[in-house]
Amino acid sequence: MELTSSAFQHEGKIPDKYSCKGQDISPPLIWVNAPAGTKSFVLICDDPDAPVGTWDHWLLFNIPASVSELPEGIPSQPELSYGARHGRNSWGRNDYGGPCPPGGTHRYFFKFYALDIALDLKPGAAKREIMKAMENHILAKTELMGRFSR
C-alpha cells in the first residue's frame, strides 16, 4: 500500500496553503494497492517534534474501502457524507489542523492504515481510543512524511 499527495513529495516541504500560514486546509491524498479484505482505512497525522510531545493534527477513521483518495479541503464536520468520521485532534477539535510549529522545522507524519473492520467509535474519538480499536485489525500501514517550518 502506498500513500501520496499531489501537494508535496515524501520528506518534502508541505506548502503554506495547508498550514496556519495559509488556508489551513487538508492536503489531497491518494492511496493505492490496499490489501484484499480491507473494510476501512484510518488516517492519523501527527507531529512528533512538538515541544509538548506528539501533537495530533488530524484523525480520520472509517474511511470506506471503496474510497481511494481524499480531496483537498476535507470539510470540518464530525462525520463526512461517505461515512468517514473525524477523531479529536490535540486542539480538541474534530477536524484537520495544519502545521503550525512554534519554531524550527517539524516533521508531519500522515500514517495510513488498512483495517479488516470498521471501527465502532463515535465522531470525536481520541487517538488512544482509535489505536485501541485498531489492535489486531491492521492489514497494512504506510506513511507519508512532510516537513514544515515558519
Secondary structure element (H or E) that encloses residue 134, with its range:
helix 127-134
Kindly list the domain boundaries of the chain, sorted by start residue. Answer: 2-149
**pLDDT band at 144, cuts 50/70/90?**
very high
Query: Whole-model pTM?
Result: 0.96
Residues shown for the chain: 150
CA distance 134 to 55: 20
Phi, psi of 43 (to 5 degrees): -120, 125
pLDDT of 101 > 90? The answer is: yes
The set of cell numbers assigned to 140 is 497494512
**pLDDT band at 112, cuts 50/70/90?**
very high
Q: Assign domain 2-149 one CATH number from 3.40.50.170, 1.10.3720.10, 3.40.50.720, 3.90.280.10.
A: 3.90.280.10
CA distance 115 to 40: 5
pLDDT of 150 > 90? The answer is: no
CA distance 150 to 131: 30
**pLDDT band at 127, cuts 50/70/90?**
very high
pLDDT > 70 in the chain, percent: 100
